[in-house]
Each structure stands twice: as structure tokens, then as C-alpha cells.
Amino acid sequence: MYIGVDLGGTNIAVGLVDENSVLKYHKSTPTRAERGSEEVIKDIIGLINETIRDYGISKENIKAIGIGVPGIADPTSGEVIYCVNLGWNNIPLKETLETELSIPVFVDNDATVAGLAEYKIGAMKDCESGVFITLGTGVGGGIVINGRVRSGFNGVGAEIGHMIVGENFYDCNCGRNGCLETFASSTALIKYTEKLINEGKETSIVRKVKGNLEEVNGKVIFEAAIEGDYVANKAVDRLVKYLAIGITNIINILDPETIALGGGLSGAGEFLLKKVQKEVEAVRYMKMMPIGKIVLATLGNEAGIIGAAALGM
Ligand SMILES: [Zn+2]
């Protein structure tokens, strides 16, 4: 058995995963990151021990623990270098957990581990190479080639969300302008939609949220777009345009067998997928050559735990 930990800005989820990457049992607790890293790590250890006890197996049967973190981790030292959501800098996560639990610990970026889960048992199963793109509050990525995660020499590779794809009307959290995340995340979609509304454009979105613009989210915008709303479609098409540039860049560099789209916005399903596939086909290089498939991710939220557990396999 393996343990997977999905450490998020909102929740910590811990699960037991078997050799076939099947999630057998899991539980979670709020992260409450404002308490600082020591308290959060105490909760992770507590939740791991509870999970083992609840499931009724002994600690000796746990071969490894994998953790996906929402930021940059050094996969070799297991140190969390930088996590803006958690306010963590240079936290020795692997070392602390191994000392407390006496089980080998592996740490990597959350989008990378979700990509590994999709590669093991999800949308990229049986592929030679796959790239996973998560379209959520931010945009993250995971690259898996021949069964191995590629996070780069220094652990800062596969940061697909911070690939520059154009010039934008606002800056990225990373301090630069033009990152894919500022065009293709739910945050970006909402920001651009609000911009159009503030410019006085008529839209059914305002009615859908009863005039309360703070309630505009990705789901509402996609719903309106599917119903044919002009503003919603303009916002979705802009997202698709820049996402397609990002995907085309990935294809030019890696030519992966499969690209899987996950995260909250992928809930828009075929409506989004068809637009992305069409736009990539329109802008891609070397049209006389075939390219890999672009598909929807299949695992949803469980990918975080399953992929983290797979780090130790
Ligand atoms: Zn950025």
C-alpha cells in the first residue's frame, strides 16, 4: 500500500492507494495555512496516522508516502522551495515526515502528480508521453515521459501556466506579464468577463448572478456561452485562443502522444474541448504531420491523491 497526500491551499487530503493505483480509503481536513508550516505538517502527520489506523493496516505495510504541493518543490531533497498559497519558503517536508514516520517520502508539484495519475490510470494511460494541463484558479502542468515525471534539472520545469503566450491587460502573480495562467485559468476568464461587463456590454451573465458580480465564476460563464451569450462566448474564445497557443508551443517542443485537460474549467467538457482542438488545428505548425490527441482528463479530484501515491511506486 502507498499513501498519497494532496496538500492544497484549502484542504489536506490523505488517501491509501494500492499497487494498481486504486484509491481504497481517504479523509481530509482544512489546511488553515495561516497557522504556519509547523502546524500544517503536524496535521499531515496526524491525518496519515489516522488513515492507517482507520483502514486497519500496520505502518510496516506502507511502502512510501507521496505528497503533491501547490508550488515549487525540489524532488531530490523533498524540500518545498516556494508555495505562495501556503506562504511556505524552503520547508524541509520530506526530512520532517521521514523523521516522524520512518517511511520514505517523495514530494512534487500538485499538477505534476495529477498528471502522473492521469498517466497511470486516466486519460493518458498506455501513452509513451503525456502532458497534463490543469485549468483551475491557476494553470498548472505535468509532463510524463516513459512513465517518469519530468520536472526539470532544478525542479522548475513543466510550469506551463507561466509560459508567456501574449500581452495581457493585467500582470501575473509571478510579477510578469503574459503568462498562460492570466489567459486560461478561471481567474482569467472571470477577470476578462468582468472587464467586458464594466465596459457596458449586455450579457445574460448579470441576470444569472442576479446582479451580484462577485458570484460570477467559470461555470456560470460557460453555461452562458453554451446558451449563446455574446459576452460569455467572447471570453471563452479568448481563453481558447491563448490556450491553443500554449498547447501549440508544447507540441512544438515535446510532441507528446496525449495532452489531457483537467481542473475545474475542464468541467465544461466537450464544448471546451472541441473549441480547443479546432483552434490548435488552425494555428499549429507543420500541418502535413499528425499531432497527438487532445482529450479531457478523467480522474477529477482524486488525481491529486492517486498521483502523489504513485511518486513512491
Ligand atoms: Zn506567471
For the domain that residue 91 is a member of, what is the CATH number? 3.30.420.40
Asked if residue 138 and residue 39 are part of one domain, the reply reads: no
Asked if residue 132 and residue 258 are part of one domain, the reply reads: yes
Asked if residue 248 and residue 137 are part of one domain, the reply reads: yes
Asked if residue 143 and residue 65 are part of one domain, the reply reads: no
Averaged over 99-125, what is the pLDDT?
95
C-alpha of residue 1 to centroid of ligand 1, in Å: 37
Q: Give the residue numbers spanning the domain of 180.
A: 125-297
C-alpha of residue 252 to centroid of ligand 1, in Å: 21
Nearest to 224 by CA among 245, 214, 209: 209
Q: In this predicted model, what pLDDT tens digit does every residue of 114-161 receive, in sequence order?
A: 999 999 999 999 999 999 999 998 999 999 999 888 988 877 888 999
Asked if residue 163 and residue 110 are part of one domain, the reply reads: no
Q: Could you tell me which residues are beta bridge partners of residue 295?
A: 260
C-alpha of residue 202 to centroid of ligand 1, in Å: 31
Q: Is 80 exceeded by the pLDDT of residue 24?
A: yes
What DSSP assignment string belongs to 233-286? HHHHHHHHHHHHHHHHHHHHHH--SEEEEESGGGGGHHHHHHHHHHHHHHH-S-
C-alpha of residue 175 to centroid of ligand 1, in Å: 7
C-alpha of residue 81 to centroid of ligand 1, in Å: 17
Count of CB atoms within 10 A of residue 25's CB?
A: 15
Asked if residue 101 and residue 55 are part of one domain, the reply reads: yes
Residues ≥6 apart with Cβ < 8 Å to 210? none
Asked if residue 188 and residue 47 are part of one domain, the reply reads: no
Asked if residue 131 and residue 113 are part of one domain, the reply reads: no
Count of CB atoms within 10 A of residue 235's CB?
A: 28
Asked if residue 216 and residue 157 are part of one domain, the reply reads: yes
C-alpha of residue 169 to centroid of ligand 1, in Å: 13
Structural contact between residues 227 and 204, judged by C-beta atoms closer than 8 angstroms? yes
Q: In this predicted model, what pLDDT tens digit does every residue of 244-282 receive, in sequence order?
A: 999 999 999 999 999 999 999 999 999 999 999 999 999
Asked if residue 61 and residue 163 are part of one domain, the reply reads: no
Asked if residue 287 and residue 209 are part of one domain, the reply reads: yes
21-25, 72-76, 181-185, 251-255: range with lowest mean pLDDT:
72-76
Q: What is the pLDDT of residue 92?
A: 97
C-alpha of residue 188 to centroid of ligand 1, in Å: 12
DSSP β-ladder status, 105-109 and 88-91: unpaired
Q: In this predicted model, what pLDDT tens digit does every residue of 53-65 receive, in sequence order?
A: 999 999 999 999 9
C-alpha of residue 180 to centroid of ligand 1, in Å: 7
Task: Quote the CA–CA distance of 69 and 125 in Å, as a whole number.
Answer: 23
Burial of 263 (0-12, 13-18, 19+ CB in 10 A): buried
C-alpha of residue 72 to centroid of ligand 1, in Å: 13
C-alpha of residue 306 to centroid of ligand 1, in Å: 27
Q: In this predicted model, what pLDDT tens digit does every residue of 212-238 receive, in sequence order?
A: 999 999 999 999 999 999 999 999 999
C-alpha of residue 28 to centroid of ligand 1, in Å: 29
Q: How many domains does the chain have?
A: 2
